[in-house]
Structure 1
């Protein structure tokens, strides 16, 4: 796999808004596994003095930069939501930098496998070649809507608009090698994470033995 981002066995973790990706990522971290969060990297890149700020200011003008020197997220969100060309230009700035940072963090990892947490993994279309397996956190769409309404103080129409901009539940499940169902209680999710963790340790060990042979 020429595109593989890591010398380690690699898992791509994704799920729709409100599915519980962060909870699952935290549970894998509790097992001692390195989780590389592309959303967190994007926030660092667009924070004051972030590596993407100069290019964003150059491409989009002073309006794109807030008074504190960070990217003006609200301004940019409104722009890319209505302008596909602007969205592509922002991605052309951010994606190579995110990839570079992912490679750097993965190279420093000392765990048997690493997890890349990628909210829009299915939408991006190029993560399949970068990881060994794709893990999807899944729940019913009504569960997603209720969680996000409660968490983000949004109404149902606003949440559904966000969901329409993402891959559908069916598209995510079709891309999945593994699925964690996050519908009921945390204990159920913990047990599923534990089962997959043991499976990934076995797969990582087999992959390492093969590469050493």
Structure 2
């Protein structure tokens, strides 16, 4: 499952219930996006009866969120991909010290596109600050539905930056240190300029409702 969240009731149903608080509340339903057999399913589930109310196949251009498991599986693909192994050996690097990160590929108006992502490579070997040691010149594109590498280019070789001087954790830092910054304080002598009640945030001239959805925090 790529997404599970609240299926919000229609506004007229909510207003009707609020006008008659003793009446039966709107049904509790969940909205599910699931990927099955290379198709994206939009599913509505009734939580009170544990029944599927609808199941529609989405045929638009976009794809659902990547799951953590899919990204992990994609990052394992280069480890056994022979052209990539040869590229790492050509650079004189240790394959076991290479780590990976995934990035989605944008949609640029194609009528039909695949669910693919790019796999970026970094070299640790003496540092945890992996992003300052990219393995450049290599392009890896993985198909998530097929779970295989579908594009591979090794265009040029760039020396990997040294690990020395890349430490950023305070417990691991060594002198000489940079100048220490003076602290800053923010004071509201008359109190904050807003009030919070549950999920309602009310600044001076307006109000808004705060909620968290999976799509907002991934």
- The TM-score normalised by the length of structure 2 is 0.24
Higher relative CO (CA 8 A, sep ≥ 6), structure 1 or 2? 1
Greater Rg over alpha carbons, structure: 2
Considering fraction of residues, name the structure with more helix. 1
